[in-house]
Structure 1
Amino acid sequence: MNHVAKRARAGSAAVLTWAGLLTVLAVLTGCTEGMRDIGEGKPRSPRDAIQISPQDGAEDVGPRSRIEVKVPDGRLERVKVSRIEDAQREVVAGRISKDGLSWAAVGAAGRLALASKYSVEAVAVDAAGRRSARNTSFTTVVPEHRFIGYFKPENRSTVGTGMIVSFDFNRPIRNRAAVEKAIEVTADPPVEVVGHWFGKDRLDFRPAAYWKPGTEVTVDVGLRDVEGAPGVFGSQRKTVGFTVGRSQVSLVDAAEHTMEVRRDGELISTVPITAGAPKTTTYNGKMVVTELHEVTRMDGRTVGFGGEYDIKDVPHAIRLTESGTFLHGNYWAPYDTFGSLNTSHGCIGLRDVKGGSAAAPGGWFFDRTLIGDVVEVVNSPDRKVAPDNGLSGWNLSWKAWKAGSALR
């Protein structure tokens, strides 16, 4: 399943064979006969089981707004609200009501901070014991005549060797050279790191090749009082850093229906997969993991697929592109789909069970994945993923990447 309408658009040295690892998986109760993947089941109710305010993707939210999480029935099982500022994450204190129908921030935590990004992760259980999940985010207002860059990865995180440092600015940048010069990305051991602009509001940084495992990366953000556009000045002065962990690069062959997982260059597993169906193919190219969700909701209505699918409890979901390509656990397809057929809406599916299992291929891969790991797709009939779709800048040559810098 590709959660986007593209047309409208361990370390163990032993090689594991998943066909022999799991002999039995539960068949999804209530599947229609011949169901191949999410889009081919009956449409679910359009009503959201979990209601979150402010709405997903909202911008310039005022400080007097309040974060609310509600369910019409059943109960909230888990809610986590985080404030993300200058690549640092702070959990917002809150509690679920006694009846389980709502969550609210506690005390002063309920007042939203300016120039911040908030994320909300919620899981609910209905009266029949069925789980559903929602993951949303929004940004708060930045003072007039100021601009800010929301950037990743998070401070002090450990990431995969494919991590790209990425800044998204809340206002268009006219003086790109001044802004790029004010951000310095350095590495130990040293390596040349160059910026590349995607349009007027995004600036990414990467070296010529994947980072070396163990590299310590420092990001000096000196944007305060830098004039990014006439009369609009930066407000950030911050130094953050992250560590590059082990190397893990996974190669998905859409024609062979397999994924080869390599850790530090050594093949540790060959996993059967299902990729995009002929009318909803999977992008080719190198994609970088940007999000990890133990469970999430995927609704075709939000991305142009109408009522083709609405799965509220997709397990072990790993985001690969901003447009919605995921590598995720799949409990609804027949056992023999994996390794033999491409049936999804463009995502990469791994065998899993309802609720997710660490012993299933989906859970096994999820537990061994870092933000910044690389997943490369080959032999799909689709085009190559755009370099600005997620952190897909590795699909540009080093020459083309450097040509996108405002300092050259």
Structure 2
Amino acid sequence: MPVRPTVTRQRPWGVAVVAALASVTLLAGACSSSPDSASPPSIATGTAAAAAAAQVSIDGAGSTDFNPKTPITVKVNGGKLTTVTVTNAAKGNAVKGALAADGSTWSSSEPLGYATAYTVVAEATGADGKPVEQKATVKTLTPAAQTYPAVIPAPPSAGLTFGVGQIIGVSFDHAITNRAAAEKALTVTSTPPQQGAWHWIDNKTVHYRPQSYWQAGTTVKLDVNLYGVDLGGGVYGKTDRSVTYQIHDSWIAKADGNTDQMQLLHNGAVVGTMPISLGKDATPTHVGPHVISDKQQQVIMDSCTYGVCPPAPGAYRSTEYWAERISNDGEFVHENPNTVNQQGSSNVSHGCINLSPQNAQAFFNQFGLGDVVEVTNSGGPALPLWDTYGDWELSWADWQAGSAVHN
């Protein structure tokens, strides 16, 4: 019978090799740290990251001593401000302010009041699209006292100008204990620029002058930025002020007690000379630079104003004409027809500078506020610093020493 051949079934070698290689490849991929290997794709969670909510902050929120000169500022993170209102809690009136173009901040734009509570309401929209509202109360500080800064000289009327000796100053109605703070809040700007400094006359009065007389044609601007400034002892500035003074041509009179003549100088050049009579030995005229602080066509001069009243010897009361005040204790340049015979030869007045009627009127017409009268050889003491205006008596070094902040 025929014999059936034996058939052996073999696994195709190609399939086995491929399977083995695939296994090795998977193993290598699982263990490889090669930078060339691709990162596995991220797996989606199916939820988006949450958008941020707006966070609003209000500077001064809850305070009871907020400085009224400091703006109330509202800020937002993670969104934009849409509306901000700041209201005087007692009066109900709104405070002016401005929102930044990008909606990130809002700031008040007008000074606040002392001892006043303000209600702040801020609304914003967050990146999540949801509205947020924030409220707060801001209360400003309460001063023990407020001091008003009167400027020296008083703000001029239109067209009024001043001479090269004019002193600039501020007079307070309360004593100032923090003088440095006061000075730092006072700014004098001269055009053209000239070096100057402050000097405290007393605890309520501070004056400013340049090293030498102002240049003719100078513009002087005084800025008083005292509102919200702690001036010591709980006293704060009541208000800010600003005033501008114009300095005219230089007019300086030089009165000499030896020659009994007074030269008139215009911008440094002598343009006239007048015979004078200064104070007699018992009442000598002060020496040094004097500044005209007032002028009146007619003035009643009364010795009682400085304590010499009738029937005391030397007492007087008389009406004088074309009078210009050069000190606060009764010294004037004025007409005196009774001393014309002594003018140019001897000194017989009570301390004033006497002129003839014609010369007094001419002097009055030319000289005005801030112009200078320098007195020499009168036999009198130096004009006191406090005696409106004795400021020019001091050397520049001594003047600077009277400042609370000068280095």
TM-score range relative to shorter protein = 0.5 to 0.7
Q: SS of 2:341's equivalent?
A: helix
Partner of 1:329: 335
Task: State the one-letter code of the partner of 2:286.
Answer: Y
Partner of 2:264: 261
Measure, in 1, the Cα distance between the counterparts of 2:204 and 2:154.
19
Q: SS of 1:227's equivalent?
A: coil
Q: 1:159 aligns with which of 156, 159, 162?
A: 162
Partner of 2:226: 223
Partner of 1:398: 396
Return the offset for 1:312.
Answer: 4.4
Partner of 1:175: 178
Return the offset for 1:168.
Answer: 1.9
- TM-score of the aligned structures, taking structure 1 as reference length: 0.61
Task: State the one-letter code of the partner of 1:321.
Answer: S
Is this contact kept in 2: 1:183–1:222, CA < 8 A?
yes
- Structure 1 unmatched runs, 5+: 1-142, 353-359
Per-residue displacement from partner, 1:341-382 (whole Å, max 9, x unpaired)? Answer: 211111111112xxxxxxx11110001012001101001111
Partner of 1:371: 369
Return the offset for 1:153.
Answer: 2.3
Partner of 1:90: none
Partner of 1:38: none
| 1:340 and 2:338 correspond | no
Partner of 1:351: 356
Q: 1:385 aligns with which of 375, 383, 389?
A: 383
Measure, in 2, the Cα distance between the counterparts of 1:312 and 1:382.
23
Measure, in 2, the Cα distance between the counterparts of 1:223 and 1:364.
42
Return the offset for 1:227.
Answer: 2.2
Return the offset for 1:407.
Answer: 0.6
Identity %: 33
Return the offset for 1:169.
Answer: 1.6
Is this contact kept in 2: 1:147–1:228, CA < 8 A?
no
Structure showing greater radius of gyration is: 2
Return the offset for 1:181.
Answer: 0.9
Return the offset for 1:296.
Answer: 1.0
Task: State the one-letter code of the partner of 2:292.
Answer: V
Bigger relative contact order, structure 1 or 2 (CA pairs below 8 A, ≥6 apart): 1
Partner of 2:150: 150
Per-residue displacement from partner, 1:273-311 (whole Å, max 9, x unpaired)? Answer: 111011111110011111111111111112122224444
Return the offset for 1:385.
Answer: 1.0
Return the offset for 1:165.
Answer: 0.2
Measure, in 2, the Cα distance between the counterparts of 1:144 and 1:288.
37
Partner of 1:56: none
| 1:203 and 2:209 correspond | no
Partner of 1:313: 319
Structure 1 residues 122-141: aligned runs within 5 Å = none
Measure, in 1, the Cα distance between the counterparts of 2:171 and 2:246.
21
Q: SS of 2:362's equivalent?
A: helix
Per-residue displacement from partner, 1:65-94 (whole Å, max 9, x unpaired)? Answer: xxxxxxxxxxxxxxxxxxxxxxxxxxxxxx
Partner of 1:407: 405
Measure, in 2, the Cα distance between the counterparts of 1:176 and 1:376.
31
Per-residue displacement from partner, 1:105-150 (whole Å, max 9, x unpaired)? Answer: xxxxxxxxxxxxxxxxxxxxxxxxxxxxxxxxxxxxxx98111222
Measure, in 2, the Cα distance between the counterparts of 1:247 and 1:381.
27
Q: SS of 1:180's equivalent?
A: helix
